[in-house]
Structure 1
Amino acid sequence: MKINFFEDRVLITEIYDFIPKHVFECGQCFRWEEQSDGSYTGVAHNRVINVALNDDTLVISNTNRQDFEKIWLEYFDLNRNYSKIRDKLTMDSRMGPVVEYGKGLRILKQDEWECLVSFIISANKSILQIKKIIEDISMRFGDYIGNFRGKDYFSFPDCPTVANMEIRDIRDCKVGYRDKYIHRAAKHIQANPEWLYSLKHLDYEDVSNELKKLDVDIIPVYKNLQDAE
């Protein structure tokens, strides 16, 4: 993998384990949209970027070296050798077809708060529905990021913003019965600012127990969230 920096884009050549369609349409993220040219434009970490794969060259547009090294290198998990992982997994004959089917998929390093809310919303919702709800919440309550290629983009509202909202405002974004769960989660995290970010240091069982603290009535929702990781 070789990285070349330009004023408003980054080119990564000799990259063999990155297929945008598999990364952005697998159900792990909801703010990426395919464009007419086959590229993907998305919002993450209060930035808007476009990602395109041309043969073995990944082009990340509307960014610079500083943001790439500070945000996108980790966000796209580019320091991890997925080829080595794939080779190891395919040693098991049962895993071979699975690995082939999902090749080019990378686990994104997403914002924990936005990811949590997205998966609360995801219960009994299609990916398209989740995307529409997240977009609506962002347009109504997020901050304006800017216009990129003729479209305005907004950040996902932070936890304090959601915690201070009325439940009916959340409900207006068509989240259904999840409105109170989102609000309760925001209130819990607002009162315990480091709690959500501490989960990544715990094992599966401890994370499961911590998630139950959010609300006893939504254990099944959070069980789905854990299993999706």
Structure 2
Amino acid sequence: MVFSKKFTPEEFNPEVIMNSGQVFRMKRETKGADGMPDTYSACSGDNDIYFYLNTEKDTWDFVCDENQWDFWQRYFDFDTDYVAFNNEIRKYEDKFLKDALKDSFGMRILRQDLWEVFISYVISQNNNIPKIKKSIQILCDRYSDGIHFPKAETLAYIPETELMDGTALGYRADYIIGISKKVVAGELDIEKISKLPYEEAYSKLLEIKGIGPKVANCIMLYGFHFMESYPIDTWMKKIISEDYKDYSKNDYLDYINCSYDGFQGYVQQLQFYHKRKTK
């Protein structure tokens, strides 16, 4: 079924979103030619969708099962006014962030499937985006249907040597199996953690083997949608040291938290995308 929504370029741009480091299974399927639009796809948990810019109607058209549409509207966070965030950013004399905003029109923070985002960011630690995407796709090919993400019930019972073989997961395989076993046994309820207050949820994540501060912050932002979460990886460390070098790290974080309270994670995504694009 086709669902249409009208957006300005400032409100929605899949090229920006899928290259912002927050999602590993959104991609451009076909490059438009002879007047045909680019076609994009996304998968999250048991859900999959295709979408494209309908130039005749000037709408974005989304193709998915009717019973999945509510999931995808939430996934793309269509109820949040990102232009309002942009207008707040424009009030400050922050050249790097303003340049990042101009470069990143159409960014949104996705609300991804909790199980998939949980394991994806365990895989992400000390890793780069192409390798993360490859590992995730191998898991989908081997242990699901090649499209949907494998369930905890499957990953929990894979021998560690098998899970490590050809997946580039390395030591992360042990973490994935351990987390999967806890989910299957009912000892770990990701949905329940996602509904806790910020500090409690963050603390609970850090108790799990295989999850440190960076991974926890990513799960908090890209899965639990705590917009105040501000993940700091190697790219963000470069930004702080190179583009905000007049600040100490603590002063910089105070500036971010005070100035952009409630959408720090969105600011982080603008900065991350811009820094990688202009490296």
Instruction: Give the TM-score of the pair, scaled to structure 2.
Output: 0.67
Alignment equivalent of 2:110, drawn from 102, 108, 111: 108
Kindly report which structure 2 residues correspond to 1:201-216, keeping only aligned pairs within 5 A, or say none: 201-215=195-209
SS of 1:35's partner is strand
Change (3 A) 1:201 1:47: closer
Which residue in the other structure is 1:183 paired with?
A: 177
Contact 1:76 1:109 survives alignment (8 Å): yes
1:198 corresponds to which of 192, 202, 209: 192
Distance in 2 (CA, whole Å) between partners of 1:199 and 1:99 is 32
What is the CA–CA distance in structure 1 between the aligned matches of 2:173 and 2:65, rounded to whole Å?
37
- SS for the counterpart of 2:168 is coil
Residue 30 of structure 2: SS of its match in structure 1? coil
Query: What CA RMSD, in Å, does the superposition of the two structures yield over aligned residues?
Result: 2.3
Name the aligned partner's letter for residue 11 of structure 1: S
1:155, distance to aligned residue in structure 2 (A) = 1.0
Contact 2:45 2:115 in 1 (8 A): no
SS in structure 2 at match of 1:154: coil
In the other structure, the counterpart of 1:59 is 61
Deviates more, 1:33-42 or 1:75-84: 33-42
Instruction: Return the match for 1:36 from 30, 41, 45.
Output: 30
Q: Which residue of 1 aligns with 2:168?
A: 174
Q: Which range is displaced more, 111-120 or 83-92?
A: 83-92
Is the 1:20–1:52 contact (alpha carbons within 8 Å) kept by the matching residues of 2? no
**2:120 is matched with which residue?**
118
Structure 1 residues without counterparts, runs of 5 or longer? 1-7, 145-152
Q: In the alignment, what sits opposite 1:164? A: 157
- Corresponding residue for residue 20 of structure 2: 26
- CA shift digits 1:82-113 (9 cap, x unpaired): 11221122212224333223221111111111
Q: Are residues 1:75 and 2:75 paired?
A: yes
Q: Is the 8 A contact 2:182 2:188 kept in 1?
A: no
Q: What amino acid does structure 2 have at the position aligned with 1:120?
A: V
1:44 and 1:222 map into 2 onto residues whose CA distance is 19
d(CA) in 1 for partners of 2:213, 2:74? 30
2:214, 2:109 → 1: CA distance? 21
Q: CA deviation at 1:195?
A: 2.3
Higher relative contact order (Cα pairs below 8 Å, separated by 6+ residues): 2
Aligned mates of 1:186, 1:14 — CA distance in 2: 39
Does the 8 Å contact 2:206/2:216 carry over to 1? no
The answer on whether the counterparts of 1:30 and 1:130 sit within 8 Å (CA) in structure 2 is yes
Aligned partner of 1:10 in structure 2 is: 3
Whole-Å Cα distance in 1 between the matches of residues 206 and 7 of structure 2? Answer: 44
Q: SS of the counterpart of 1:211?
A: helix
CA contact (8 A) 1:52 1:60 kept: yes
Closer, same or farther in 2 for the Cα pair 1:162/1:105, shift >3 Å? same
Does the 8 A contact of 1:20 with 1:53 survive in 2?
no
Q: TM-score, normalised by structure 1?
A: 0.81
Matched position secondary structure for 2:153: helix
Evaluate the alpha carbon distance shift between residue 190 and residue 221 of structure 1 in structure 2; reply closer, same or farther with a 3 A threshold: farther
Alpha carbons 1:167, 1:183 under 8 Å: kept:
yes
Offset of residue 12 of structure 1: 1.3
Residue of structure 2 in register with 1:147 after alignment: none
Structure 2 unmatched runs, 5+: 32-37, 221-229, 232-264, 266-279
Mean Cα deviation higher: 100-109 or 17-26: 100-109
Equivalent of 2:101 in 99, 102, 111? 99
Percent of aligned pairs with the same amino acid: 26
The equivalent of 1:5 in structure 2 is none
Are the structure 2 counterparts of residues 202 and 141 from structure 1 closer, same or farther at C-alpha, using a change threshold of 3 Å? same
Mapped to 2, the partners of 1:203 and 1:102 lie a distance apart of 30
